[in-house]
Amino acid sequence: MMDWTDRHCRYFHRLLSPHALLYTEMVTTGALLHGNVSRHLAFHSDEHPVALQLGGSEPEAMARCAELAERWGYDEVNINVGCPSDRVQSGAFGACLMAEPDTVASCVAAMKSAVSIPVTVKTRIGIDDMDDYQNLFDFTAKVIAANCDNLTVHARKAWLKGLSPKENRDIPPLMYDKVYQLKRDYPELEVCINGGITDSASVSEHLRHTDGVMIGRAAYQNPWWLVELEQNLFDELHRPTQHEVVEGMLEYIEAELLAGGQLKHITRHMLGLFQAVPGAKQWRRHLSENAHLPGAGPELLRAAAAKVSPEPVSW
Ligand SMILES: Cc1cc2nc3c(=O)[nH]c(=O)nc-3n(C[C@H](O)[C@H](O)[C@H](O)COP(=O)(O)O)c2cc1C
């Protein structure tokens, strides 16, 4: 998620969920091929498994960026066919590519022949008036023919004109049944579902119909939920306390600050860690008011965490 799932956020989320597949923000082919590659691609080895999401529509450029992803150690490379922003539309990629399944298939095919890591696509159930199930079905047939390894579907359409990206994440109704139908129609394709999933019971229900669940905003806003999911789905013995997670960030923070990073760029992702725990407000306030000050370092997190009840939350 742009501006949210940067490498600091991913390092933090990895402490909460050892098994989840984490995604980068979308990086455009232009930014990678003509910009500062290490700024966009560098990540900490503890983040694995991590997927690089690309924005682009030129098969050759996408293949070269997929090679970069593989070379930098990413576990997967994903094509964004879901973002409706004007900036992305003017670059002719993102959600508008749902109207050009052949282009997406050419990108997948070019990337598959360039790398051996999985090449995956994230899309919506439709765009504008192209929102019948048949469109999604045909789109999927083309990406499967190009050997796409996984399709993740945000279960709402996008309106390319008239709604902002934020509105396009809330206003078009969620239609999970279309994603379930897609999995029934293409049982050999790994299909993950995304959109509006905010509790563990819903995750279990979606997993009865699909191969995986992608969680966006709820994981960012209530990161502690990731621990509950990790326990339910992968490792019931994964039981850190929030305070241990704070401690787990300190060494990373120290190294980042020594390398010239700023504390506030890391702590901003951690504000929701103690959600619903007595003292959570003081934790957030202490970080927000102090993390930007010159000289602020790891001890600030300890001081902020000391304002919160030491009891672990019970589910
Ligand atoms: C701030 C923000 C940035 C996002 N950036 C991306 C992005 O770069 N690539 C992408 O595929 N989806 C992006 N999304 C969409 C989410 O991945 C997800 O599809 C959407 O929020 C619906 O899932 P959710 O209800 O679990 O959040 C973004 C969402 C938000 C809130």
C-beta separation of 306 from 235 below 8 A? no
Position 311 scores a pLDDT of: 60
Indicate whether 144 pLDDT > 70.
yes
| For residues 29-42, average pLDDT | 97
Position 29 scores a pLDDT of: 97
User: Does the C-beta of 230 come closer than 6 Å to ligand 1?
Assistant: no
Position 312 scores a pLDDT of: 52
Integer Cα distance of 123 and 236 in angstroms: 32
25's tokens: 């923000």
| For residues 171-184, average pLDDT | 98
Delineate the domains of the chain, giving CATH numbers in brackets.
7-233 (3.20.20.70), 242-305 (1.20.120.1460)
Q: Model's pTM, two decimal places?
A: 0.96
| For residues 238-243, average pLDDT | 95
Active-site pick, 9, 65, 83, 96: 83
CA of 125 to the centre of ligand 1 (A): 15
Read off the pLDDT band of 315 (50, 70, 90): very low
Residue 57: CB partners within 8 Å, gap ≥ 6?
A: 91, 92, 93, 97, 100, 103, 104, 107
Read off the pLDDT band of 203 (50, 70, 90): very high
CA of 252 to the centre of ligand 1 (A): 26
| For residues 123-145, average pLDDT | 97
| For residues 164-183, average pLDDT | 97
User: Does the C-beta of 4 come closer than 6 Å to ligand 1?
Assistant: yes
3-state secondary structure of 189: coil
Position 60 scores a pLDDT of: 98
Q: For 8, phi and psi rounded to 5 degrees?
A: -65, -45
Position 82 scores a pLDDT of: 96
Question: Cis omega (within 30 of 0) on the bond before 240?
Answer: no
Q: Whose CA is nearest to atom 23 of ligand 1?
A: 195
User: Does the C-beta of 25 come closer than 6 Å to ligand 1?
Assistant: yes
Nearest-atom number in ligand 1 for the CA of 26 is 8
- Mutate which of 22, 200, 217, 269 for ligand 1? The one with the most ligand atoms within 8 Å of its CB, which is 217
Q: Distance from CA of residue 57 to its chain's centroid?
A: 20
Q: Which residue has the tokens 């993740």?
A: 152
User: Does the C-beta of 168 come closer than 6 Å to ligand 1?
Assistant: no
What are the tens digits of pLDDT across the range 38-93?
Answer: 999 999 999 999 999 999 999 999 999 999 999 999 999 999 999 999 999 888 99
Nearest-atom number in ligand 1 for the CA of 25 is 8
What are the tens digits of pLDDT across the range 263-311?
Answer: 999 999 999 999 989 999 999 999 999 999 999 999 999 999 999 977 6
83 in catalytic set: yes
- 193-217 in b/e form (b: 16+ CB < 10 A) is bbbbbeeeebbeebeebbbbbbbbe
